[in-house]
Amino acid sequence: MTAVATTSASPKASTRLMWVILGLVLLADALDMIDSTVTNIAAPTIARDLGGGEGLIKWLGTSYMLAMGVLLVVGGRLGDKFGQRRLFLIGMTGFTIASAVAGLSPDPALLLAARVAQGAFGALLIPQGMAIMTKTFSRDMLSKAFGLFGPLLGVATVGGPVLAGFIIDADLFGLAWRPIFLVNLVLGAIGLALAVKVLPHDDGDRSTVVDGLGSGLLAGAMFGLLYGLVDGSANGWTAVPIVSIAAGVVFLGLFARRQMTAADPLLKPSLLRNKGFTSGMLVGLAVFAVTTGLVYVLSLFMQEALHASPRGAALGLLPLTLGIIVAAGAAMGGLVAKLGRTLIFIGLAVVLAGCGWVLALVAYGDPGLWALAPAIFVIGVGMGACYSTIFDVALGDISGDEAGSASGSLSSIQQLAAGIGSAAVTSIFFQTAGSGLTHAMEISLIVVLAVTALSVPVVALMPKHAPEESHH
């Protein structure tokens, strides 16, 4: 069944088909967002079961997001070259198998390898859904589809830890944490069955060029920076982490140069010269990094310092989910179009207020989960306003022929930021935990406040409004 054939045969059937495809794409994106954050709650339980200590806790989320972020743009190019349907099926199959390996892993090494594989296959999977919808959906349906993405992915971002908490506490079949990955066998099978039946066939364009050298340089840069950061905070700042970070910086410089000289770069040089777009990338990098890291250390603080169970920590993060739902829904409901970058300023201000509130509670009281709930809800409201807005507004000055490259780049930045944030903020948390977990939480919050505050002036350099027909 193809979208073209169905459209010509029956408009009503075509509408049904578009809704099924939308459901399939949302399932794939939700799987990605849930699995990128599901270890936030589960990490301490997994580390106690398998060993691996702080290093495993840091790398469980970072390894997934690193593989996803590095390969996401390449995944989009491969879909253009070999066909989106083919890459979607490969990505969903590989993601499901990697999830099974993760759920059955007997040791930290195999689990981390499985997490890398999940991220890599996810990078093949995620870009295809957006491309398929853009090619086959009507304009009205495309607007409805993108209107659902902000709230859904916002919920999935925090829903992963919440789901993990309840699954671990239930101890299904005596498997403890393992069902958080094994559930993907069911969801992946459903996704594959739907994809085989409804996704339109396409042969791709074999003339599309994939910049392997640029991809390798970006991979080397991100791995060097993240490995050095995690290893240095866990094992001390010896020569190994210092050299790793230095190598990452060198690779990053070489990657930037490659983008200026390559015939078919991953990131168009004209995008790098666009002030509004680069400002949006910087703001997105900062905000997604610190908020992802904050969610991670909040879950650790609740379990390790407040002695909450995994389910208790999941409930403690539930106000964050509700705040994201409220703000993302309002933003996609028309606030982005009305306020533009002003909504980003508001969102960042709300995040700062919420983090300051949590800091006051931690520093000057003995907070319980209920005492933290209102402040955490406020943080969620700020996050939801930003998540639905930053990248929309960043595309405000982008020309039509640059839109595809720009959107893919921003999605990759979001994943890389999540990996960097998980590694950086948790590293700060563990590095300062020797003086007590409360002190570690205070320092982590101060870092989040500082980075968020520094990003506020950069918002002023972004376009004033999102594109008139912004879909993402």
Q: Say whether 375 sits in a helix, a strand or coil.
A: helix
Six token digits for residue 249: 């910086």
pLDDT digits (tens, 9 = 90+) for 87-135: 999 999 999 999 999 999 999 999 999 999 999 999 899 888 877 887 7
The H or E element that residue 115 is part of is helix 108-136
**What's the pLDDT at 1?**
31
Which range is least confidently modeled, 151-155, 352-356, 361-365, 374-378? 151-155
pLDDT digits (tens, 9 = 90+) for 143-161: 666 666 655 666 676 677 7
CA distances from 329 to 140, 146, 152, 325, 389 (A): 18, 12, 9, 6, 11
CA distances from 409 to 253, 277, 423 (A): 17, 10, 21
Going 242 to 247 to 252 to 253, the CA torsion angle's sign is positive
How confident is residue 210, by pLDDT bands cut at 50, 70 and 90?
confident
Look over the chain and give the mean of its residue pLDDT values, rounded to a whole number: 82
**What's the pLDDT at 153?**
63
Six token digits for residue 242: 């210092």
| 69 within 8 A of 116, measured Cβ to Cβ | no
Going 361 to 365 to 367 to 373, the CA torsion angle's sign is negative
The pLDDT of residue 328 is above 60: yes
pLDDT digits (tens, 9 = 90+) for 215-253: 888 888 888 887 887 777 667 788 998 999 999 999 989
Torsion of CA 439, 441, 444, 445, to 10 degrees: -110
Amino acid at 162: V
More confident position, 470 or 343: 343
pLDDT digits (tens, 9 = 90+) for 280-297: 888 988 888 888 889 888
